[in-house]
């Protein structure tokens, strides 16, 4: 994981002298007014060292993930002003959740009193204090932080080249087991972790990941979603657990009564995310596994929100993604893991209980892609049957967003690269009984399947429409047919009908247009496509321009400020019905709608059609 901007600032300006004039460190952006401490100037040995040892030394130590150590007075003295500024602005220690929304275990967050001590120390010249006041410096194991693992699996070394785009590499290694074991703890280590932004661990009980690994000479195989449509392996996250790594993350062992099953013949699949990097580096990962002494009494489940249908226009400052799930059984929420990229700003998750009570699950007021983590609740949160869990993420795709990786801003959709976007939330819960867990897992499987079908179908429809506008009808029909095989809804049938009519197959076009209207009688896109078909049908008994105009009037009424595809369908229908001037107007509106979304490929295709309509008509 790359350091935050505050950490980079401290590293770059580590020479700063504490003799500079005192500054007000409590009024910067993102900070609260911190009162000055009473009782004289704080000292390093008495007041500051205990804070640094407890909250900072995990990363800021020799061999830690931070670029410098803070274990000695000399380490801290030369950076006193910048330490005070970074902590007052709440950039350090890196802790994203709002502590007033819901309490988490092991919060890396300073109290107001601790912040005041740091500010007073820096403003007062950063005195050392009495040696007798200095507490013992923390010690850290040279090897595994959780102690000697029961089993160590070394993944293949990966030579990370210098690269300008994100790399997702899935490294595969067999697990040398002869009997079933239950895993209660995992520790991930990288001998050289500077190239790795984050990692996640998966398991594959088949040979599919091994086979994918063998397709090229490099260790592992590429791809962010090994179980997805583009890669198709059987790698899955461990049942009920999300196992990940970020620099500075402290590994923990779970309770003995909760663990995940590891069978002989299973392969570990470790996915490492390597952001753009100017220099090559070798990544050497190891996985330490800690086994439970007995089978688990409880098996958790993961409720995963994975919103893929995002399409963020350039300049949009408050693009919102929401998703919900109603619990079919009673559960206790144990932890939460949020994920997005650079455009996300605010993250919220809550549960609405059947009695109307709202229980907070997560609030991050200022998301930072470089400091993502998983968060365990201080106490499990009870959620009864019928509670609705909701996530709400806000994205800023404007030039005012200092983290926007695109200058100038461009259209951003769902994707694996850090210049794309994601909207993920994983809530770990445990049901009361094995039967309840099975009920929950069935309900979740239906949710995931339905959402994936919608996303995949919409993606294929968008591509099919684009190809049809370009006149590439065979390719368009292939993509639209794939969409129909995954989801038979009104928009898919209407898009297929439009492409069929453009290719000359009016019999099938009319059939699909009618099915679309049967499914959604008031859908403007379906109305416009049926109008297009009946306006130019070669059979005089079916061709009816007047009926087409009636259908188009209904479509226009429901398509004000509509999407580009619907406006283009209305334009095509108007042209087929003989209203060429109004068709040109709607083509112009379609181009404007596409421009607002930043979809350059669709803009080009629509402008090509608009040029045809503007050309002199013989």
Look up the CATH number of the domain holding residue 199. Answer: 2.60.120
Q: Which two tokens stand for residue 491?
A: 């928009």
In a domain, 443, yes or no: no
Residue 223 in contact with residue 168, Cβ under 8 Å?
yes
Torsions phi, psi of 326, nearest 5? -95, 130
Q: Largest Cα–Cα distance in the chain?
A: 102
Do 257 and 346 lie in one domain? The reply is no
Residue 404 lies in a domain: yes
Rounded-to-integer distance, Cα 209 and Cα 172, Å: 7
**How many Å apart are CA 126 and CA 326, to the nearest integer?**
54
CATH of the domain at 350: 2.60.120.230
Q: Is residue 146 one of the residues assigned to a domain?
A: no
- Domain check: are 603 and 460 in the same one? yes
- DSSP code for 369: G
Residues 341, 263: one domain? no
Q: What is the pLDDT of residue 218?
A: 92
Of 196, 164, 163, the closest CA to residue 280 belongs to: 163
Range of the domain at 254: 151-291
Domain boundary pick from 291, 310, 326? 291
Q: Which of 262, 291, 320 is the last residue of a domain?
A: 291
Residue 438: inside a domain, yes or no? Answer: no
**Whether residue 243 sits in one domain with residue 110:** no
End-of-domain residue from the set 133, 163, 190: 133
Residue 566 tokens, joined: 């619907």
| pLDDT on residue 36 | 53
Cα 440–Cα 444–Cα 450 angle in degrees, nearest 5: 150
Q: Domain check: are 255 and 345 in the same one?
A: no
Three-state SS sequence of 182-247: EEEEEEEEECCCCCCCEEEEEEECCCHHHHHHCCCCCCCEECCCCCCCCCCCCCECCCCCCCEECC
183/236 same-domain check: yes
**Which of 194, 305, 201 minimizes the C-alpha distance to 251?**
201
Identify whether residues 311 and 265 lie together within a single domain: no
CA distance 235 to 206: 8
Task: Flag residues of the chain having pLDDT under 70.
Answer: 1-39, 192-194, 226-231, 247-248, 560-561, 616-618
* Integer Cα distance of 384 and 376 in angstroms: 19
Residues 408 and 511 placed together within one structural domain of the fold: no
φ, ψ of residue 164 to 5 degrees: the values are: -100, -10
* Domain CATH number, residue 533: 1.25.40.10
Q: Are residues 475 and 545 in the same domain?
A: yes
Q: What is the pLDDT of residue 140?
A: 79
Element (H, E) at 496: helix 490-503
Structure tokens at 325: 């799930």
Cβ atoms of 437 and 468 closer than 8 Å: no
Q: What angle do CA 580, 582, 588 make, to 5 degrees?
A: 105
Q: What is the pLDDT of residue 193?
A: 55
Q: What is the C-alpha to C-alpha distance for residues 329 and 332, in angstroms, rounded to an integer?
A: 10
125 and 168 housed in the same domain? no
Contact status, residue 231 vs residue 225, Cβ threshold 8 Å: yes
The answer to whether the CB of 206 falls within 8 A of the CB of 252 is: no
Distance from C-alpha of 78 to C-alpha of 603, rounded to nearest angstrom: 55
* 3-state secondary structure labels for all residues of 243-298: CEECCCCCCCECCCCECEEECCCCEEEEEEEECCECCCEEECEEEEEEECCCCCCE
Tell whether 464 and 605 lie within a shared domain.
yes
Q: Which residues pair with 244 in a beta bridge?
A: 200
Asked, for residue 329, whether it belongs to a domain, the answer is yes
Cis amide linkage into residue 93, ω under 30° from 0 = yes
Say how far apart CA 86 and CA 94 lie, in whole Å.
Answer: 10
Phi-psi region of 564 (alpha: psi -120 to 50; beta: other; left: phi over 0): alpha
**Pair type for strands 331-339 and 301-306:** unpaired
In a domain, 61, yes or no: yes
The total domain count for the chain is: 4
Tell me whether residue 174 is in a domain: yes
Joined together, the tokens standing for residue 82 give: 């910048």
439 found inside a domain: no
pLDDT at 219: 94
> According to the model, what pLDDT value does residue 227 have?
60
Using one digit for the tens of pLDDT, what is the confidence trace for 43-65?
999 999 999 998 898 888 887 77
**How many C-beta atoms lie closer than 10 Å to residue 35's C-beta?**
12
Q: Do 176 and 225 reside in the same domain of the chain?
A: yes
The total number of residues written for the chain in this structure? 618
């Amino acid at each position: 994981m790359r350091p935050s901007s505050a950490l980079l600032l401290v590293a770059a300006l580590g020479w700063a002298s504490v003799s500079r004039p005192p500054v007000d460190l409590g009024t910067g952006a993102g900070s609260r007014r911190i009162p000055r401490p009473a009782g004289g100037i704080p000292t390093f040995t008495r007041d500051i060292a205990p804070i640094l040892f407890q909250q900072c030394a995990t990363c800021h130590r020799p061999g830690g993930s931070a670029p410098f150590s803070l274990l000695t007075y000399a380490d801290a003295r030369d950076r006193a002003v910048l330490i005070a500024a970074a902590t007052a602005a709440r950039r350090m220690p890196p802790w994203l959740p709002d502590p007033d929304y819901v309490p988490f275990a092991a919060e890396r967050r300073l109290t107001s009193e601790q912040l005041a001590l740091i500010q007073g120390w820096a403003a007062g010249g950063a005195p050392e204090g009495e040696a007798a006041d200095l507490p013992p410096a923390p010690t850290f194991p040279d090897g595994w932080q959780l102690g000697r693992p029961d089993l160590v699996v070394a993944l293949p070394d990966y030579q990370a080249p210098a690269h300008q785009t994100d790399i997702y590499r899935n490294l595969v290694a067999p697990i040398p087991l002869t009997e079933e074991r239950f895993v209660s703890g995992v520790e991930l280590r990288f001998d050289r972790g500077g190239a790795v932004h984050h990692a996640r661990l998966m398991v594959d009980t088949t040979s599919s990941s091994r086979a994918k690994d063998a397709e090229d000479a490099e260790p592992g195989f590429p791809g962010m979603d090994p179980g997805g449509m583009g890669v198709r392996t059987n790698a899955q996250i461990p049942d009920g657990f999300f196992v990940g790594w970020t620099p500075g993350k402290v590994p923990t062992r779970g309770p003995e009564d909760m663990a995940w099953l590891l069978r002989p013949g299973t392969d570990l699949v470790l996915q490492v995310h390597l952001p753009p990097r100017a220099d090559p580096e070798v990544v050497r990962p190891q996985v330490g596994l800690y086994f439970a002494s007995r089978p688990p009494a409880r098996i958790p489940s993961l409720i995963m929100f994975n919103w893929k249908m995002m399409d963020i226009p350039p300049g949009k400052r408050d693009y919102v993604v929401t998703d919900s799930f109603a619990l079919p059984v009673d559960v206790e929420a144990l932890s939460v893991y949020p994920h997005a990229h650079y455009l996300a700003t605010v993250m919220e998750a809550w549960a609405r209980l059947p009695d109307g009570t709202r229980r907070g699950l997560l609030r991050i007021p200022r998301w930072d892609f470089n400091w993502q983590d998983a968060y365990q609740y201080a106490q499990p949160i009870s959620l009864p049957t019928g509670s609705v869990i909701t996530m709400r993420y806000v994205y800023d795709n404007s030039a005012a967003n200092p983290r926007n990786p695109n200058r100038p801003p461009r259209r951003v959709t769902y994707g694996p690269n850090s210049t794309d976007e994601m909207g993920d939330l994983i809530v770990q819960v445990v049901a009361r009984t094995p039967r309840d867990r099975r009920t929950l897992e069935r309900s979740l499987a239906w949710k995931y399947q339905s959402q994936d079908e919608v996303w995949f179908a919409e993606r294929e429809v968008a591509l099919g429409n684009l190809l049809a506008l370009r006149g590439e009808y065979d390719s368009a029909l292939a993509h639209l047919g794939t969409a129909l095989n995954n989801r038979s809804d009104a928009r898919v049938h209407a898009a297929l009908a439009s492409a069929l009519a453009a290719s000359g197959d009016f019999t099938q076009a009319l059939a699909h247009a009618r099915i679309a209207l049967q499914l959604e009688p008031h859908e403007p896109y379906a109305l416009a496509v049926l109008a297009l078909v009946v306006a130019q049908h070669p059979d005089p008994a079916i061709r009816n321009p007047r009926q087409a105009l009636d259908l188009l009037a209904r479509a226009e009424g429901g398509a004000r400020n509509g999407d580009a595809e619907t406006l283009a369908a209305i334009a095509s229908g108007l042209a087929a019905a003989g209203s060429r001037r109004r068709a040109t107007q709607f083509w112009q509106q379609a181009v404007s709608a596409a421009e607002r979304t930043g979809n350059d490929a669709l803009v080009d295709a629509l402008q090509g059609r608009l040029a045809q309509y503007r050309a002199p008509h013989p």
